[in-house]
Amino acid sequence: MANGMYMDADRGYDLSLFESEGNAARKKKAAPKKTHAKKNNVIELNMPVYDKSERRKHNVGSIVLGFVCAAVITLCVGFIIKGQVELTELNQQIASAQVQLEEAKSEYTQMQAKMEASLSTAAIEKYAQENLGMSKATAQQKEYISLSEGDKAEVYLQKKSNVFTEIGDFLGSLWS
């Protein structure tokens, strides 16, 4: 590093070559001129030679642990993706079932309206007149019944014609 020279690990540099002309001119006056050949300013350093046996040895346990961790992470991500796929499929099934339900509800409403229309009194009267040839009763066809005499009840007595029925009735009366 002396005399304006800096060294790197591989080579040295002479910085005096880059100084301003005034400084260079002063140095030339102060220093006697030399007539010999140009001086080699490059310094070579001995580089250490690395032995291949000194390379870092890999720990087999840490490599196996790394692969196991990577496999576990991959499995977890795979299960998450599989779960999301199943969830999406189930959501699609639910959506299609809801569409079918809505269609069935609208069909039910249509069928209910048709049934109510076909069972209305006007529709029944129309069917009776057109298909069965019936007509509404007139005032002359109506007959009124009066129940002002009161209610009557008649009891039908069975004639006993058999001895066995009398014995059966007798035994039945014993039990009651």
pLDDT for position 95: 97
Helix, strand, coil: what percent of the chain each, to 5?
Answer: 60, 5, 35
Look up residue 81 and give its amino acid: I
Q: What is the DSSP letter of 14?
A: E
At residue 144, the pLDDT reads 77
What residues have CB less than 8 Å from 11, skipping those under 6 apart? 42, 43, 44
- Cα(115)–Cα(130) distance, rounded to whole angstroms? 19
**Residue pointed to by tokens 């001895």:** 163
pLDDT-derived band at 105 (thresholds 50, 70, 90) equals very high
Evaluate whether 44 touches 54 at the Cβ level (below 8 Å): no
pLDDT band (50, 70, 90) for residue 112: very high
Please, are residues 11 and 43 in contact by the beta-carbon 8 Å criterion? yes
Q: Quick check: helix, strand or coil at residue 44? A: coil
Query: Residue 133 — very low, low, confident or very high, per pLDDT cuts 50/70/90?
Result: confident
Mean pLDDT, residues 97-126: 90
* pLDDT per residue as tens digits for the range 32-86: 555 556 777 777 777 766 655 556 677 888 999 999 999 999 999 999 999 999 9
pLDDT at position 65: 95
* Residues 6 or more apart whose Cβ sits within 8 Å of residue 117: 123
**Residue 11, both tokens:** 């080579």
- The pLDDT, as a whole number, for residue 98 is 97
Residue 108 DSSP SS3? helix
In one-letter notation, the amino acid at residue 49 is V
